Structure 1
């Protein structure tokens, strides 16, 4: 039922006694109640700003040293552009983030804080885009009968808070990898797509082509998202004549990104044939639900946040406000249905590829679906009544920032601890051996940054050295390698007058017990002492010292 607005005899509308949000009376309220309402609004605004600022600061607050993937990324990005592109052929990634980091390093250097700042700034740039996307989602909900005039503002604010306080966004906003860029580009791609569908002008279609190209040049999992959208547009163009022109034009604009991707196609095909993810394990179907809890963080606060986010996402999918309250429509509402599809379908495709094709399914790759999920949750929050909305927002801010703090402040590698111990014990000419090779980049970086350590460094089954991991036919190469042969080589390199330091971690896929064999073979020839025990961190490792020959 439409609201009735009273008018005076002259025809002038009489202002209603309620404020726009339905919080309370305006002039008719007692002065004390009016002041309390004003203070409540100011407190909510202050709390919102504080949460956003805290989330922004946490993106730059990690004390951790760079772990394997970050060290690899920096070593590739610091090379001349030709060497960078060549190194990526054996790494398995597309080049956009590496080229951005290459320019960033030339300006600010390769320090831990400097190289991570790029991801932090990209993550911060996501926040205003998320606010705009949230308002757009709220506007579509309102025009579809799933909201009112104030819904866009509420959903926009909720989206801003969700992205600012997201543990996933905080974690990868503090890591020298491309995942913050992926989240930003997914949002920009979505906005470009919606604008192109509304009015398929040449300029908007060009922007959509650029956004699609940027996505596929950043991470290959974005193919799953782009493919999902392309199929949806093709179906819409075929089934609904009124959408045929706009959907067909948008689909053509996305397809035009293939021309932009063509120069990289030879490298892409080489990577598909020879790199892949040999370290990945098979996952179970429950990973689709686990992903939400991975986004929410590993602690008990993360479990609470995951439950709350799933609940409000369900409301965003099915909720329809009416005069007598919020109703849930089981078949879903627009735009919740579209957001749910963009959240789930790419993850289902990734799961199927993992199951039948062996490709990795890992939490950090799932950023392609995070924006759709958080926007769906923001829509659900925007549909809640005032007090419930505030309570849910408070829980999300507290649990999200708590989880983000835990994830940002955790040490991710023992590389610095191991490098410090080697520095304290090693003499010029001693040998540092790495098994598996994946421990090499982080420890090598930590050793090199000391600048005063003259040691020989050698890597298991990789003659290229410890700075990079060569993923070219990795599993085949590891199966052919021999732990006993590597131990003999290391022993010969050290000779009778130098010690051997073995940086070791067991349990890596494709290596089986090779690193234990290396250690045991060296222990037959030299005295073994453990200098650093492996701890339960993201990239744990032990350090063993083998003395000069007896």
Structure 2
């Protein structure tokens, strides 16, 4: 028998072509959820003022990379990777509100696409695209997709790590697939260590698959060991700084765990709907339900348990990376309950309409600074309108976090107000907090006018340190005072000697 080898071009021509309709349908799976999330993320992106945490981001990324690294050795190391990434971004695109928040918008849009792809693998095409849409319309996705912090990127890399694990399980002998999974987990840990608790859900999936292939254990163990080695130094450094940064987080009681949904979904209605749909989820394989259920439930339970030691970590924002799991389960539940596209689509549209009030709330001017709103922009506007060359400024730093940074952000960069009682800037000492003059009398330079910015609407001198108040009252009188939301802007003019 003679076998005639075909040229490679002939072999390629003999392969059945992928139907154009199938390729289009496949692209729509991830493209529509991505587009909807991007549109919602861009809508009203600048409506809310920068919040305190976002002002920390602005402060950090404005330093040179050497200063950022030096600061991370003292505080906030767990967010260091995000700061370094944003430092490069801001160098290219500036530090406007849009520029600071756009990476988060892009991250949640990409996460919606990944959620749809995971859903299609686990529950089928219809469940996948529904999961992507349910993720997109969640008010929490809009809220944290419009925040200049790392949480949106964490949601993306956790979802991506899960997708890469599924791909690795498709072809367990492919070392590059395990490498991709390990790298995604390393990035997860570098962006937020608590998000590595998703490995508990991954372990559940591995256990289900290892019944048929015992070699998965050592392959996964090798990948996870490499991940642990990469993130261990950051974990140790972050642990040493945790008490300083999280001293204010209370230890949670049992009710805190049950009420976590309100903070997680940023909408009681949306959270209730997703949980109800998740209970209806069905799948051809129990491993799919096990993975998503463990992903949704185990990280919050672990965080709650760990928060009863010396330090509490229990904040809903730290488990935002479980949102894709709830969307996946809800998408599967909706696909099971609604047998037609029209019914499922109508339910998604109905939920979108019902959560519009929550979506509007996410874009309120002070949403990123609740529960203590401060109108930095209005305060800066008062100074801009009445400013004179030679004016100085005093900020209330006694009990107010980032009031100075907020007003400085919204002031023109070239205004040139001398910060009277500032001895050392946070950047100058590689920290997040400024150092003020120990002897305020010696820091006054005879400025004719000083702007005093304080929190609240009471007597302005009562909001600052007593020594500062005494030094100012002795030499200055309040010539005008204006209240804005959460703040008072006072203009002090030098007393005329008698």
Partner of 2:161: 189
Structure 2 residue aligned with 1:432, among 394, 397, 402? 394
Residue 75, structure 1, aligned to residue 59, structure 2: yes
Q: 1:101 to 1:71 in 2, by over 3 A?
A: same
Partner of 1:454: 417
Classify 1:124/1:235 alpha carbon distance in 2 versus 1 (closer, same or farther; 3 Å): closer
Which residue does 1:252 correspond to in 2? 222
Q: Report what 1:442 is aligned to.
A: 406
- Bigger shift: 387-396 or 363-372? 387-396
- 3-state SS, counterpart of residue 357 of structure 1: coil
Per the alignment, residue 59 of structure 1 pairs with 41
The whole-number CA distance in structure 2 between the counterparts of 1:339 and 1:82 is: 41
Aligned to 1:404: 359
**1:364 is the counterpart of 2:317:** yes
- The 1:524–1:80 alpha-carbon spacing in structure 2 relative to 1, beyond 3 Å, is closer
| 217, 221, 229: which one aligns with 2:194 | 221
1:232-267 Cα shifts (integer Å, max 9, x gaps): 478669xx6535321332232122113333564674
Query: Once the two structures are superposed, what CA deviation does each residue of 1:343-387 show, in whole Å capped at 9, x if it has no partner?
Result: 121112222333333334323222121111221111111111236
* Deviations 1:180-225 (CA, angstroms, capped at 9, x unpaired): 1111111111111222234322111111110110100111221332
Aligned to 1:261, which of 216, 226, 231? 231
- 1:523/1:456 CA distance change after superposition, 3 Å: closer
Check the 8 A contact 1:71/1:442 in 2, yes or no.
yes
TM-score when normalising by structure 1: 0.71
- The 1:532–1:284 alpha-carbon spacing in structure 2 relative to 1, beyond 3 Å, is farther
Partner of 2:97: 112
Closer/same/farther in 2, CA of residues 286 and 532 from structure 1, 3 Å limit: farther
Q: Which residue of 2 aligns with 1:24?
A: none
Q: Report the alpha carbon displacement of residue 337 of structure 1 after superposing the two structures with TM.
A: 3.5
Do 1:75 and 1:467's aligned partners in 2 also have CA atoms closer than 8 Å? Answer: no
Distance 1:82 1:516, change over 3 A: closer
Aligned residue pair count = 447
Structure 1 counterpart of 2:349: 394
Cα–Cα, structure 1 residues 443 and 100, in superposed 2: closer, same or farther, change >3 Å?
A: same
Question: Partner residue of 1:43?
Answer: none
Within a 5 Å distance, the mapping from 1:469-488 to structure 2 comes to 470=431
Alpha carbons 1:72, 1:467 under 8 Å: kept: no
2:299 aligned with 1:346: yes
1:55-92 superposed Cα distances (whole Å, 9 cap, x missing partner):
42231232233232222213322333222222223224
Correspondence for 2:459: none
Q: Which residue, 97, 101, 104 being the options, matches 2:82?
A: 97
1:166 maps to 2:138: yes
Task: Write the deviation string for residues 276-331 of structure 1: whole angstroms up to 9, x where unpaired.
Answer: 3234334433333433233443xxxx332222122112212xx589xxxxxxxxxx
Q: Which residue number in structure 2 is paired with residue 10 of structure 1?
A: none
What is the alpha-carbon distance in structure 1 between the residues aligned to residue 360 and residue 181 of structure 2?
A: 35
| Structure 1 unaligned residues grouped into runs of 5+ | 1-45, 139-151, 322-331, 507-512
Structure 2 residue aligned with 1:175: 147
Q: What is residue 205 of structure 1 aligned with on the other side?
A: 178
Q: Separation in 2 of the partners of 1:103 and 1:264? A: 21
Change (3 A) 1:467 1:294: farther
CA contact (8 A) 2:150 2:191 kept: yes
Q: Distance in 1 between matches of 2:324 and 2:395?
A: 42
CA-based RMSD: 3.7
- How far apart in 2 are the matches of 1:290 and 1:388? 31
Contact 1:505 1:541 in 2 (8 A): yes
Which residue number in structure 1 is paired with residue 249 of structure 2?
280
Q: Distance in 1 between matches of 2:483 and 2:410?
A: 18
Is 1:294 the equivalent of 2:263? yes
**C-alpha distance in structure 1 between counterparts of 2:379 and 2:324, whole Å:** 38
Q: Structure 2: how far apart are the matches of 1:131 and 1:468?
A: 46
